[in-house]
Chains A and B, each alone.
Chain A
Amino acid sequence: MAIVKVERLKKVFGGGELAVTALEDIDFSVEAGELMALLGPSGSGKSTLLLCISLILEPTAGVIAMNGREVYHDGRTGIDGRRFRRENIGFVFQAQNLIPFLTATDNIALAVTLNGARDTAAQKRARELLDYLEVGHRADALPALLSGGEQQRVAIGRALANEPPLVLVDEPTSALDAERGMKVMALLKRVAKERRSAVIVVTHNGRMIAGFDSVYRLRDGRLANDAKA
């Protein structure tokens, strides 16, 4: 069964003459362990799509199903958006999305405790993840003292904190140089394969997507399946 299934999703910003149709007729699905790339020029609606899937933005119409359960069907289906996010979705955005006054460990542990775990268990889990992401030696550093690549690893760790079935990644490499960008992409690949999460990676850089399972392109809010591998 698909982790996420999206049908005829539509998102219009504003109304009347000022209405901007950011997404139109979006259909796709992602399986567990699938690494999906979402390509498209700036302003094509990539971020909007991720925000709609996670119910941060309310879509205008369409259907979103998570693990076979509809969370949106031309309107909310009575689901608690925050809880839904806590339990099902991990986010990785551009740099600087770590909580600045928490150490690398605490940033990840926080996500675990938000889901109801005890502090000690959360700390243990955070350290495991940091080791897994090869930044264990930076466990007690504050985000400001981490390099861009290290910050991104910690952010990935935070996204994985609760073993979410779906990981959404928005332009993770835009603040990194090419080499570090490739490393982060490789790490995301590993996450999908080893942890069996569905991973959707947004990028406008086509060179970064070697080895992805599926590649979609957004243009003016419409989705085209590029080359399903």
Chain B
Amino acid sequence: MDLAVKDVERHLGKFAATIVGVGALLAIVLIMNGIYRGNIGDGVWLIDHIHPDLGVVERDRGGPFNEQSRLPEDAYKSVAATPGVAEASPFITYAVQRQVGNSSQQFTVIGYNVFGGLGGPGRLVAGRAIERAHYEMVADEKLGLALGQEVRLGVHDYTVVGLTKGAVDSGGNPLVYLSLADAQEVLYQQDNRAIEAQCAASLKTLEKAGYLPAQAKKLLPLVAPATDTVSAVLVRLAPGADARQVTRRIEDWLYYNVYATAQERDLMLQGRLRKMTAILGLFRSLLVVVSIVIIALLVYVLTIEKIRAIATLKLMGASNWVIVRLILEQSLVLTVASFAFAYAAVHLTYESFPRTLVFVPTETLLTFVAMFVGGGAREPARHLARAAHPALARLGG
């Protein structure tokens, strides 16, 4: 006769409710694991995906992803002319908050040389890459766009020709790919009224500086803000070229900053991601501790509830094994069933989670082991069971 099973049968509702409750808690632990890994994964995905041999950015800037960097567009020509460089592509990236479909969405625009340049889209799941110089875009499916859909950005409509899945910036926001020229346009172009206002302001400045109105009008194009800048130049090295040498040359002669992908990645991990990673890590550990405490406590309560029954069993001459099994089996079922519930719940729903969740099997396993062993703070319960004196069973006789 299996006592644990009999007890569970009698209290099926209570036991099921406990499993659902603990399962929900464990689901949060698993989601937290996923967020923690997803945060890091998203954070470096773009860098890992583009993976240039070198990235050239504005002098004294921390790369195109950690802070803004501006280079003249034709910087790529001088970079390409540097010995050891096989290919140099202009690349622009910036974050925007724009109306897409019916809602205002945050995303990052990436502009690249669509005719064979570096830095194009990855994780394409539908459609194709951009093939024309203008008015085509590739968007991540997170934006909720369909192939063929027209999206207005700035003053033009762009047709969605391709969809990606999981192409995100370091903050987990979706990417939109445009041709370099289009990306610059979306960033800088203004409508006519805004242009007029800008001209009026510039004219006023020139007139204040002492130019006659006729002179000021002629000077106007010279003071207009530049709209042909890029964030970085992506470099592919020639076979056998020494990256350090090329880096030194570009830094010394062209006066730019140069990062290898690994350095760019470190910048991201040490900079933008560090605090978030620390906070998420802290939450993760706290959740694990709380869950272990709760499971141990539940097992303890399960045992306390049975303390008289346990004393009676000892009185009847039941061996310790019979008693330990009663507690052990239930705590085992509780832990395993709760974890299974959590695992199923998380894996059925994580796709629709607003952030990317990344599950590392070894971490999931470790979490399970922690719960399994932690609820080894089963030890107080076992101690309690051992201490229950059979004389306790006779209730004040």
CB interface residues, B 320-343, toward A, < 8 Å? 322
Question: Which residue of A56, A84, A109, A119 contacts B315 across the interface (Cβ within 8 Å)?
Answer: A56
> Given the known A-B contacts A57-B391, A93-B393, A101-B10, are A122 and B316 also in contact in the complex, defined by CB atoms under 8 Å?
no
Does A146 sit within 8 A of B, measured CB to CB? no
A97/B312 in contact, CB under 8 A? yes
Number of A-B contacts (CB under 8 A): 79
> Given the known A-B contacts A56-B315, A91-B316, are A97 and B393 also in contact in the complex, defined by CB atoms under 8 Å?
yes
Does B397 sit within 8 A of A, measured CB to CB? yes
Q: How far is it, in angstroms, between the C-alpha of A98 and the C-alpha of B312 when the chains are bound?
A: 8
B1/A171 in contact, CB under 8 A? no
Contacts of B309 in A (CB 8 A): 99-101
A82/B395 in contact, CB under 8 A? no
Does B97 sit within 8 A of A, measured CB to CB? no
Q: How far is it, in angstroms, between the C-alpha of A84 and the C-alpha of B312 when the chains are bound?
A: 15
Q: How far is it, in angstroms, between the C-alpha of A106 and the C-alpha of B319 when the chains are bound?
A: 18
Does B314 sit within 8 A of A, measured CB to CB? yes
Beta-carbon nearest neighbor of B318 in chain A? A114
> Given the known A-B contacts A101-B10, A106-B1, are A94 and B316 also in contact in the complex, defined by CB atoms under 8 Å?
no
B10/A91 in contact, CB under 8 A? no
Q: How far is it, in angstroms, between the C-alpha of A196 and the C-alpha of B394 when the chains are bound?
A: 25
Q: Shortest CB–CB separation between residue A130 and chain B, in angstroms?
A: 16
Q: Shortest CB–CB separation between residue B321 and chain A, in angstroms?
A: 11
A56/B390 in contact, CB under 8 A? yes
Does A205 sit within 8 A of B, measured CB to CB? no
Contacts of A174 in B (CB 8 A): 397
A96/B395 in contact, CB under 8 A? yes
Q: Shortest CB–CB separation between residue A228 and chain B, in angstroms?
A: 25
- Mark interface residues in B354-397 (1 if CB within 8 Å of A CB, else 0): 00000000000000000000000000000000000111011111
Contacts of B7 in A (CB 8 A): 101
24 A-B interface contacts by CB (under 8 A): A47-B394, A51-B391, A56-B390, A82-B318, A85-B315, A85-B317, A86-B317, A86-B318, A94-B395, A94-B396, A94-B397, A96-B308, A97-B395, A99-B3, A99-B309, A100-B309, A101-B6, A101-B9, A106-B1, A110-B3, A111-B316, A114-B316, A114-B317, A114-B319
Q: Given A56-B315, A85-B316, A94-B395, 8 more contacts at CB 8 Å?
A: A81-B317, A82-B319, A99-B313, A101-B3, A113-B1, A119-B1, A170-B394, A174-B397
